[in-house]
Amino acid sequence: MHMDTVSAPFEADLDDKRAALGYVSEAFAEGCLDGLDGDCMAQAALFAAFQELVMTYGEEATARYAEGFPDRIRGGAFTTAPQH
């Protein structure tokens, strides 16, 4: 499936996204409890996520999706703690 043929291929049901985040967070915590570094877990999670997106949507659509990350990161979309 290519992004040109689908208006929003990366949008999913909000409840499904929350459930999926719960599973990923649990796996993350379990890995850290087993002694894996949080940074190592984060990089592995990103690799697995992008691998899945490429398999599902293709390289070009995934690359276009990822282009929006710098602005989202700088805008606080992934920040969970208050910033000073």
- pTM assigned to the model: 0.71
The 3-state secondary structure of the chain, one letter per residue? CCHHHCCCCCCCCHHHHHHHHHHHHHHHHHHHHCCCCHHHHHHHHHHHHHHHHHHHHCHHHHHHHHCCHHHHHHCCCCCCCCCC
Residue of 76 and 82 predicted with greater confidence: 76
Name the pLDDT band for 14 (thresholds 50, 70, 90): confident
> pLDDT of 15-29, one tens digit each?
888 899 999 999 999
pLDDT value at residue 10: 54
Residues 46, 27: Cα–Cα separation, whole Å: 13
Kindly tell me if the per-residue pLDDT of 50 is higher than 80: yes
Q: Is the pLDDT of residue 1 over 90?
A: no
